[in-house]
Structure formats: structure tokens, C-alpha cells
A and B are shown apart, each in its own frame.
Chain A
Amino acid sequence: MINNPLIEYTLHLADNALVLGHRNSEWTGHGPVLEQDIAISNIALDLVGQARYFYQYAAELMGGGATEDSLAFLRDCRQYKNCLLVEQPNGDWARTVLRQFLFSAHQHLLFSELTAGKEPRLAAICEKALKEVTYHLRWSGEWVIRLGDGTEESHRRMLQAIEDLWEYTSELTLPSQCEVNLEHAGVIADSGRLRECWNKKVQELLDEATLPYPGPGSKLSLRWSGKEGLHSEHLGYLLAEMQFLQRAYPESRW
């Protein structure tokens, strides 16, 4: 369908942000305490904002009447290119903050690279987003430490969260076909190096949180990849909820 690797990659960046933004927004009104309800909602807003910039760029590149809205609301699971980590259900607060930390650590490294990279529009978007992502990383990292090195219950929940989410982490830095193409063309950075940095950063923080570092790829290898449109069962439900309004009442506006 889309044989332009830049378009596919931009959609991947957009879909990551939108799906995680949507997941975080599910906490709104249900946060454990007021300030954290606001914090996670702010992060959701930041991510949706990033998604918009990426979708707008992808729409421009695609032409043919594509818009940020048509890309967000009218594509189905098979066309979504987000990684599997971001579509996992929120679970408890431990799982949510760990998911955020694992993702933000990756996003921070990736956006730093892209900001200095050869693709000017992606560089501009990432430069703008980098300050937000820095905050997401700080906020989520500190929560992982607080809960990991916390009470017996919080520690137990963090262990469970690691167990639930770790298998999805290798996909973050496992390049899809379009990423391989872009790496060869020198448009994006080498994923191997990103993986090294990510492993190091995550291991340091988990140590500080008195949590075990499972090591790279020590869980089951992924038999499928969200980046290629092969998703877990969760994405279908997520998109159904997110897209219902636009599909039932097309072109509806506030």
C-alpha cells in the first residue's frame, strides 16, 4: 500500500504517539491522586500533540486528500504501525509508569538523534517535542524508582509490571523494513546504537529502583511486529473506541 519508507516511518512515529496518548488519557478522571491524574493527562495531551505534527507531515507526503484526521480515524489495525508496547492495557499505576518510562527512554534517544538528523521536517518536529519528552522521561523514571524502592506492595506490583511488559521492549529498537531502508539511506540513525544506549539507561534506572534488569531479549522473541501492522488483540478495541465517533458521524465537528 504505502511503498515510501519515509511516509511509513512518519506514520510509525505518529501512531506510537497517538496510541500511547490515548492509553494515558484513559486515566483521566481515574488517577490515583489529583496531581497524578493531571500529570498523566498532560502527558497524554503532549503525545497527541506530537502525533498531530507527524500525521500532518505524513498527509502532506501522501497527498490524495489525506488529512491528519483521516489518518488517525479511518485506518484500521492492519494499517497502524505503532509498536506493541504502547497498545498494552494500562493495568495498575505501576504498569502505566513503567510503560511510560520504557517508551520515553526510547523516544528521548530517538528524538535526540532525529533532531540532529538529515530529514528536516522530522528534525523540526522532534526538536519541538524533545522538551516534553525530557519531562516524560524524568516523571516516569522517578515513579519507577519510587514504586520499585518503595513499600512491599509497590515493589511487588513493579515486578509484575516488568514481567508483563518486558517482552515488548525489543521491538522498540528492532528495525522494520522501512527503518532498515532509511538507515541505509542515512536518513535515520543506526538502531543498534540506540539499543545499546537504551539498555544502559534502563538498566541504570532499574538498579536504582532495586528492580531486576531482565536483560535484552531474554524473554520470548516477538513472533509479530506492530510496526508491520501485526498487532495484539488490544489495538482493535482501542481503535473501536477512539474511532467510533468519526466513523458513525463522518466529518462531525465540535
Chain B
Amino acid sequence: MSTDNEHTGQEKSPAPGAKPQGDWPLWEVFIRNKQGLDHKHAGSLHAADAQMAIENARDVYTRRMEGVSIWVVESRHIHASSAEESGSLFDPANDKVYRHPTFYELPEELKYM
């Protein structure tokens, strides 16, 4: 039965359940749909551990067949660029047209590449 695999294969942190609800971390949820190639951010939720986070994500974000694959990451592991920096990070790329592959003409055979 699949549940047997879950229990023997599950990695055990010390006292896995011993987190009172106030200590449940926040997780970001990414879902890939059946035709998709990448996981898209679907939302966030609180859970005590990774198993629970995946099950919560399954219950909340895939009940209308939105996805077939789930990634969960603790929010604290996601690092984002800050809004104040966006000027120096992104504006310079705006007027550097030579970085785009638009000047090469594709041969007829590769037209739909």
C-alpha cells in the first residue's frame, strides 16, 4: 500500500508533530498543471512540516484539477529582490537591443523554431 512507503520513507525530524500551531512556518506553494512545463506560484499556507504542507496544498490548490505536481518551499528559503533595487537591477536592460536574438534571419526550414 502506498501509505506504507510514506511511513518508512518519510524523513524524521525530532518529534515531528511537536510543533504547537503558533510555530507552524509559512510555505509557498507552486503547482504545475497537466500541460505545463513549469511550476507556477499558487499561494501560501501554514503547515507543521513538509508532508503536511504538500497535503494542504493538494487539498486547497488542486481540488479542481488545477495541477499534477506540487512543490512546497518554506517562505524563509525564498529570497527576493527588493523594489528599491529594481531600477539598478532591471532598467539597464531596457535599451540594449543588441542582446536580443532578433537580427539573425532563420532559414525557411527552421521558420517555426
**How distant is the Cα of A204 from the Cα of B19 in the complex, in angstroms?**
23
* Interface mask (A79-112 → B, CB under 8 Å = 1, otherwise 0): 0000000000000000000000000000010001
Which residue of the partner chain, among B18, B47, B63, contacts A42 with CB atoms under 8 Å? B63
A240 to chain B, nearest CB (A): 30
Q: Given A134-B2, A137-B3, is A149 in contact with B59 using a C-beta cutoff of 8 Å?
A: no
**How distant is the Cα of A141 from the Cα of B4 in the complex, in angstroms?**
11
Residue pair B63, A38 in contact (C-beta under 8 Å): yes
B: interface residue count bin: 20 to 34
A43 to chain B, nearest CB (A): 9
Tell me if B75 counts as interface (CB < 8 A to partner A): no
| Most chain A CB neighbours (cut-off 10 Å) among B1, B2, B6, B19 | B1
A-B pairs with CB below 8 Å: how many? 62
Task: List chain B residues, Cβ under 8 A from A2.
Answer: none
**How distant is the Cα of A32 from the Cα of B51 in the complex, in angstroms?**
18
Task: List chain B residues, Cβ under 8 A from A150.
Answer: 15, 17-19
Residue pair A35, B3 in contact (C-beta under 8 Å): no
Which residue of the partner chain, among A112, A134, A154, A204, contacts B17 with CB atoms under 8 Å? A154
What residues make up the interface of B, taking CB atoms closer than 8 Å to A? 1-3, 6-7, 15-21, 45-48, 51-52, 55-56, 59-60, 63
Q: Which 5 A-B pairs have the closest CB atoms?
A: A146-B17, A150-B17, A35-B56, A39-B59, A149-B17
A-B contacts, 22 of them at CB < 8 A, read A32-B21, A33-B46, A35-B46, A35-B47, A42-B63, A134-B1, A134-B2, A137-B3, A138-B3, A141-B7, A142-B55, A146-B48, A146-B52, A148-B17, A149-B16, A149-B17, A150-B15, A150-B17, A150-B19, A151-B20, A154-B17, A205-B7
